[in-house]
Structure 1
Amino acid sequence: MRILACLPLVAALCGAFLTSIYPSPVWAEPTESCDLSFNYHVNYRNNLLELTGDDSQQYRFSAQGVWLDGQRLALNPQQLALAEEYRQAVIKQLPEVIALVDDTMTVVNQALLASLGPLLGQAQQQQLSDILQQTKLKVARQVGRDNDGFHLNATEYAFSDVFDAEFEQQIAELATQSIASFMLQMGMDMLSNNTSDADNSIDKFSTRMTQMGSQIEQAVNDSSEQLERRATGVCHTLRSLEQLEQQLTTAIPALAKMDLVNTAD
């Protein structure tokens, strides 16, 4: 049935875009369009940008200066200006990455709700809502933004872990339950000698699945194309950020080991 064929499409969208839009050395296989990685947890609050690595080394940037592991660096005016240019670039470009992740999650949720929602009973619809809410919370722990700032955790765990085997099993079970309910109703119609009702149910169900599958597939494809174009633009801006970072670490020897963004040629 085409409705079931749509589920791998949705899963592929989850994996492909979340890993290509927001990759990490431990999260994603390189992609041709966006082979980028982040190496630090990034937190921006109260005009203070903090980069923290797995080794707990911390870089802090404000308009007034730069700190390495709590120690303020002595910078000349040219170095301070370059550090501020870098800070402004990070706080402008990383929210674009986060927005792209948020919009991808919205597409995923809408596709699953549109495909499974109409086929589920009230209790099962609540299960689906709970699953999607749990997934949203997992993503929020890694990336998020509000009026006060943003955070992007590149060191915790893979985005692929958000859509893990448990998630796939939960969605598959809901799909199976919805089909089982239909088969039960059809069987009851046949046992009560309502053969015509059973035949009509089969025809209606088949038509409904074909139409719904086509609509969902088209919607996901349209959304994925838009997201892909945005991801390409984000990749270009992050490559420029990497170049600026290289200038900064060359100009300030104390920051020589700092490496927030990586791209592969």
Structure 2
Amino acid sequence: MIARSVMLALALFGFGAAAEPSQFNFGDECELSLSYDIELERDSLEVSDAGESLYRIQGDQLWVRGKSVDLDASQRTLVRDYHAEMERQLPKVVELVNDALMLAGTALDTVFTELSDFGLDPSQGTDVMARIQDKVNASMRTENGGIRLSANAMDNFSDELDQTLETEIESVISASMGGMLMALGQAMSEGDSGDFEQRMEDFGTRMERMGERIETEMEAQATALEQRANAMCSEWQQLDLLEQKMQRQIPQLAEFDLVVQGDPELAMLR
């Protein structure tokens, strides 16, 4: 009895933690990372490292480590263009993350609904994703409603989401274990042991079919997300080229390589 209950829990863990729609990155072949943290407010862009402001851009004005930098017309144009491109790209990152979460939530709702016969409340799937959404929003939004993107956020989002999802599901399972055991006990009391064995085999088949159905239903949407991520990667690569040009023409920014393609350790050699 206990062993079968544990197997039931593990089945749910597997579907939750391994759901493909939870994966998010800038495409499988996109080697892109951020060296520092970015905060985009209504009229300013700030790049910082562990809470220390490195530089701030407001329109065509630039401050480096808190000190204003005198710029000529060409430099002001570069700074303004860079700021404008960040204003265009950062909201797209947030939108893609939210869409990935919505897709993961749809898959999770299906899992919890399928397992409602075993003591799980179908609404708990929605509750789990709502808590995850709150955590993601807290990490990507500033106090003033701006956008925050931390260093390595592009690399770590998928792993952090899977870890958070697994933790939340484990919490739900622990809280619901009593109801699950009661449901299993009732199933066992309604027939002989052979009937119960058959029910558990049917449950396993049901879970396999559910996984196949989720994969089929989500495949097109997951592919569309991947295509958007690949397109975004190309745009950020162009943003990196603009940043490199700005670094070359404004010496005060030369040491701050924010957007990095490939190995971050080799960024200084560019």
TM-score (norm 1): 0.77
Q: Is the 8 A contact 2:46 2:53 kept in 1?
A: no
Structure 1 residue corresponding to 2:66, chosen from 57, 66, 70: 70
Residue 36 of structure 2 contacts residue 48 of structure 2 at CA under 8 Å; is this kept in 1? yes
Aligned residue identity for 1:66: L
- Where do 1:40-51 residues align within 5 Å? 40-51=36-47
Question: Counterpart in 2 of 1:24?
Answer: none
Distance in 2 separating the partners of 1:55 and 1:149 = 16
How many angstroms apart in 2 are the aligned matches of 1:13 and 1:145? 26
Structure 1 residues 221 and 175, CA gap change in structure 2 (3 angstroms): farther
1:106 corresponds to 2:118: no
In structure 1, runs of 5+ residues without a counterpart are 22-30
Q: Does 2:187 match 1:186?
A: yes
Larger deviation, residues 173-182 vs 34-43: 173-182
Aligned pairs for 1:164-183 (under 5 A) are 164=163, 167-171=165-169, 174=172, 177=177, 180=181, 182-183=183-184
Residues in 1 aligned to 2:50 and 2:43: alpha-carbon distance in whole angstroms:
23
The 2-side partners of 1:181 and 1:103 are apart by 37
Report the Cα distance in structure 1 between the residues aligned to 2:142 and 2:217, rounded to whole angstroms.
27
Aligned residues: 247
Contact 1:107 1:220 in 2 (8 A): yes
C-alpha change, 1:172 and 1:205, in structure 2 (3 Å) is: same
Match of 1:225 in 2: 223
2: distance between equivalents of 1:222 and 1:175?
30
Q: Percent identity?
A: 26
- Mapping of residues 74-93 of structure 1, within 5 Å: 74-93=70-89
Deviation at residue 173 of structure 1 after TM alignment:
6.7
2:213 corresponds to which letter in structure 1?
A: Q
User: Residues 171 and 136 (structure 1 numbering): CA distance in 2 closer, same or farther, change over 3 Å?
Assistant: same
CA RMSD of aligned residues (A): 3.5
- Amino acid corresponding to residue 246 of structure 2 in structure 1: L
Judge conservation of contact 1:79–1:252 (CA < 8 Å) in 2: yes
